[in-house]
Amino acid sequence: MKICVVGIGFIGLPTACLLASKGFHVLGVDINEDYVNKLKTNRLKIEEKNINDLLEKSLNDKSLTLDTKPSRADIFIICTPTPLDENKKPDLSYLIEGINSILPYLNKGNMVIIESTIPLKTTQEIIRPIIETMGFQVGKDIYLAHCPERVLPGEILYELVHNNRIIGGCTENCSNKVKNFYEKFVKSEIHTTTADIAEMVKLVENSYRDVNIALANELMITCNKLGIDPYDVVSLANKHPRVNLLDFSIGVGGHCLPVDPYFIIDSFPETSKLLATARNINNSMPKYIASKIERFLNQKNNPKIGVWGVSYKKNSSDIRNSPALEIVNILKDKGYCVNIYDPLVNGINYDKIKYESIMDSNFLIILVGHDEFIEEDYEEIASLMDSPIILDGANILEKINIPKNVEHYNLMKI
Ligand code: SAJ
- Closest C-alpha to 325, from 337, 340, 335, 314: 340
Ligand 1: residues within 6 Å at CB? 117, 149-153, 205-206, 209, 213, 246-247, 249, 252-254, 256-257, 312-313
> What would the mean pLDDT of 271-291 be, rounded to a whole number?
98
Residue-wise pLDDT tens digits, 47-65: 888 999 999 999 999 999 9
Residue-wise pLDDT tens digits, 75-117: 999 999 999 999 999 999 999 999 999 999 999 999 999 999 9
What whole-number percentage of the chain has pLDDT above 70?
99
Residue 144: phi, psi to the nearest 5? -110, 130
202 carries an active-site annotation: yes
Q: Residue 349, SS3? A: helix
In ligand 1, which atom is closest to the CA atom of 247?
8
323 C-alpha to ligand 1 centroid (Å): 13
Residue closest via CA to ligand 1's atom 4 equals 247
* Averaged pLDDT of the chain: 95
Other CB atoms closer than 10 Å to residue 280's CB: what's the count? 10
What distance in Å separates the CA atoms of residue 252 and residue 232, rounded to the nearest whole number?
21
Residue-wise pLDDT tens digits, 363-414: 999 999 999 999 899 999 999 999 999 999 999 998 998 898 899 999 999 9
Q: Give the C-alpha distances (Å, rounded to integers) separating 236 from 83, 228, 243, 250.
A: 37, 13, 10, 21
79 carries an active-site annotation: no
Residue-wise pLDDT tens digits, 222-255: 999 999 999 999 999 999 999 999 999 999 999 9
Fold assignment, 2-188: Rossmann fold (3.40.50)
Q: How many helical (H) and strand (E) elements, i.e. helices and strands, does the chain have?
A: 16, 13
Give the burial string for 399-412 (b: 16+ CB within 10 Å, else e): ebebeeebebbbbb
In ligand 1, which atom is closest to the CA atom of 154?
24
Q: Is the pTM of this model over 0.85?
A: yes
Residue type for position 109: G
Residue-wise pLDDT tens digits, 166-191: 999 999 999 999 999 999 999 999 99
Residue 44: what pLDDT? 86
Q: Is the confidence at residue 43, as pLDDT, over 90?
A: no
Same fold? 2-188, 228-414: yes
Domain ranges of the chain: 2-188, 228-414
Residue-wise pLDDT tens digits, 283-309: 999 999 999 999 999 999 999 999 999
CATH ID of 228-414, from 3.40.50.720, 3.40.50.740, 3.40.50.300, 3.30.70.100: 3.40.50.720
Residue 264: what pLDDT? 98
Q: Is the confidence at residue 128, as pLDDT, over 70?
A: yes
